[in-house]
Amino acid sequence: MEPFVVLLPLFGAMFALPVARLVGSRAAEILTTGFMLIAAIGSWIILFDVGLGSGEDKTIRLFTWIASGSFQAEWAMRIDTLSAVMLVVVNSVSFLVHWYSMGYMKDYGEQPRFFAYLSLFTFAMLTLVTADNFLQLFFGWEGVGLASYLLIGFWFKKKSANDAAIKAFVVNRVGDFGFALGIMCIFYVFGSIEFDTVFGAIAANSEAIPYGRATGAPIQDLTITFLGNDWHALTVIGVLLFIGAMGKSAQFLLHTWLPDAMEGPTPVSALIHAATMVTAGVFLVCRCSVIYEYAPNAAAMVTLVGAITAFFAATVGLLQDDIKKIVAYSTCSQLGYMFFAAGVGAYDAAMFHLFTHAFFKALLFLGSGAVIIGMHHEQNIKKMGGVKELMPLTHILMVIGTIAITGIGIPGVFLFGAPFGTAGFVSKDMIIESAFLAGEAGKTFGYFAFTLGLLAAVMTAFYSWRLIFLTFWGASRAPEAVRKHPHTPPDAMMWPLAPLAIGALAAGILFYGNFVGDKSEAFWNGALYAKVEHHETPAADHAAVDDHGEPTPLGASETSHGADAVEEATEDHGGGHHVPNWVLWSPFFAMLFGTIAAAFHYLRGDPLRPGLLRSGGMIYGILKNKWYFDEIYDFLLVKPAFAFGRFLWKEGDGKTIDGVGPDGIAAVVAAGARRIVKMQSGYLYHYAFVMLIGIAIFVTFMLITAGGGQ
């Protein structure tokens, strides 16, 4: 069954256009959506078998992909809890997006091509998450990049869409260059790119002899020469892999492609931002958790970049007016949370937030698409208002997504053994608490991530409720024609939102115990690793660890959240949460503060009146212009590249190559030939005269030569 879960989207992509030509566009939509439904059901069966049942992890080897000397790469499917979770996320959201698109795209045309691209995108992501080696993972990685280029630029006759697609493709190539170097470095050090070989060698601290060297060293201590200096090998590998993750998951400095990706149809935005492309980087770091456990400097970089991204993207979201771009920057910020959780060793919390985030972020994007359709394709929230009267169901669903992302819940109160609250409350609070505990345990940037995480939580609540208040509440600011004749979204667009809303409300409570609670050791079953120092831990936090502090399968979340360093002056609030009360409640008050601030401004008087940040101010300008990153990159990179290209064109190609070649030697030869041609008059006496001159010269030369010889 497992191969079909991965291959069915590929079959959908392959058959969509032929079926459309033979039967019609509707048949192509039904075919691809039906395949995705089967794949989604199969994914849940795999998760319940591997993660929640008695099934064992397995690797299904399909064929030998590459065999060249000592380099071997199998095409295989790695089925463990980590890949099963990703299968559920990708296939479930993709199925709902396919279903939603049957209604969204009905008036746009070219549905077969669109659905083929969606299915191809899904197949590439499934290949990535089920890979058993780094090269197969890289194949899926690049496949996702290609499919995103096709989907973002789907409306290829629109210049802005083409520009956005190219931008996403180029920026991702920057990160992918680092990822490719990381894979090369792995083969150089380990002589293999197989996950089991690489991870097993690191866990066992086996001796590694890099390619071409006569001697090696235990892998945890091995150094290699990179860029002219000796560096810790695992740190180099971890940093290079994370650079790839930064590009794919739109982290700080490589984030500029993400908001421009909104040029694609709204279902594309939901698929990219909720389940596929941007989550690939988080998956990569968690899959390589054993590398980062023994490369603390690389892990610190993950924490630092993730924390800055969470804060930075939240600040930019404060002043965005495009409904899709607000949700896009929210995605960027939430990914920052996942990364700094992984950076401090809370891989289970990172994956938990990835899982819950898929529900409420897909809900927000697809709900935004319904609003856009209802408002005659208007996307500026300042030109909306009063939409809840026109679209009451969409309003309720969007509010559910908002209370999920902002984290509505009651700290310290448990229901069925899990914190009582929405999905975002349960998973995001776990991340913030994990960062604090990492700081208590002395991990680099732990407190930094905790602080920026709280500030981001304030801003997340503010911009999320700002979207609701300006879009749905208050008096309508839409044109009269829109108010009188709103477009009613088709049922195919609304039904997929229901399961997403249920997940946004209940996924945190339902899956808390398995992902990060007392059942997590059996759930993850070795798919995630954490290096646990040898010390006494509270009974609730005890995890199996040998006398030497070797890495163990990550079980309960407490194995990665610290232990005796924070046991004193903390309280157990259930589920192994050993944090002070003020830490437990701080995300709640951060959410509350942001919500009240948004209500104070947008529910009193004119919601568009100038606020604390006024137009014309420096801070307003920085945030409104996204910290001027596009302008900075344009000045530092784009314009110099154009200037250099123009120099090569004018000076190199024009004056040098053309000047010496076609305009130089070739021109002289051509001019000489034209002059010589004039001698070909066609008159016989001219040719006889020339012949006589030639004979005279020849005879004269012979006489002179003969005379000199005597």
User: For residue 270, what are the contacts with CB-CB under 8 A and spacing of at least 6?
Assistant: 93, 97, 100, 361, 362, 365, 366, 369
Average pLDDT over residues 274-298: 92
Q: Which residues pair with 223 in a beta bridge?
A: 232
**Tokens linked to 670:** 């051509």
pLDDT band at 536 (very low <50, low <70, confident <90, very high): very low
pLDDT of residue 33: 94
pLDDT of residue 357: 94
> At 376, is the secondary structure helix, strand, or coil?
coil
Query: Scanning the structure block, which residue is given the tokens 């795999």?
Result: 46
Range with lowest mean pLDDT among 244-253, 254-263, 463-472: 254-263
Average pLDDT over residues 271-282: 87
Instruction: For residues 228 and 232, give the distance between their C-alpha atoms in angstroms, rounded to a whole number.
Output: 13
pLDDT band at 616 (very low <50, low <70, confident <90, very high): low
Segment 54-92, tens digit of pLDDT: 778 888 998 888 888 878 888 999 999 999 999 999 999
Question: What is the share, in percent, of the chain residues with pLDDT greater than 70?
Answer: 91
Q: Are 548 and 77 in contact (CB under 8 A)?
A: no
* DSSP code, position 133: B
pLDDT band at 556 (very low <50, low <70, confident <90, very high): very low
User: For residue 500, what are the contacts with CB-CB under 8 A and spacing of at least 6?
Assistant: 96, 359, 360, 362, 363, 366, 397, 401
**Has residue 615 got a pLDDT over 80?**
no
**Has residue 353 got a pLDDT over 80?**
yes
Question: What is the share, in percent, of the chain residues with pLDDT greater than 90?
Answer: 53
pTM equals 0.86
Long-range contacts of 33-36 (CB under 8 A, 24+ apart): 33/95, 33/98, 33/99, 33/102, 33/115, 35/8, 35/9, 35/11, 35/119, 36/8, 36/9, 36/12, 36/91, 36/94, 36/95, 36/98, 36/119, 36/122
Segment 469-527, tens digit of pLDDT: 999 998 888 777 777 677 778 888 899 999 999 999 999 999 999 999 888 888 998 88
Range with lowest mean pLDDT among 7-11, 91-95, 636-640: 636-640
Q: Are 458 and 590 in contact (CB under 8 A)?
A: yes
pLDDT of residue 251: 92
Range with lowest mean pLDDT among 80-89, 460-469, 534-543: 534-543
Instruction: For residues 534 and 547, give the distance between their C-alpha atoms in angstroms, rounded to a whole number.
Output: 6
pLDDT of residue 386: 87
- Could you count the other beta carbons within 10 Å of the beta carbon of residue 170? 12
Range with lowest mean pLDDT among 36-40, 175-179, 377-381: 377-381
pLDDT of residue 530: 62
Instruction: For residues 35 and 11, give the distance between their C-alpha atoms in angstroms, rounded to a whole number.
Output: 8
Long-range contacts of 212-221 (CB under 8 A, 24+ apart): 219/189, 219/190, 219/294, 220/294
**Has residue 543 got a pLDDT over 80?**
no
Query: Scanning the structure block, which residue is given the tokens 């971890």?
Result: 238
**Tokens linked to 458:** 């304030």
Instruction: For residues 139 and 132, give the distance between their C-alpha atoms in angstroms, rounded to a whole number.
Output: 12
Q: Whole-number mean pLDDT of the chain?
A: 86
* DSSP code, position 61: E
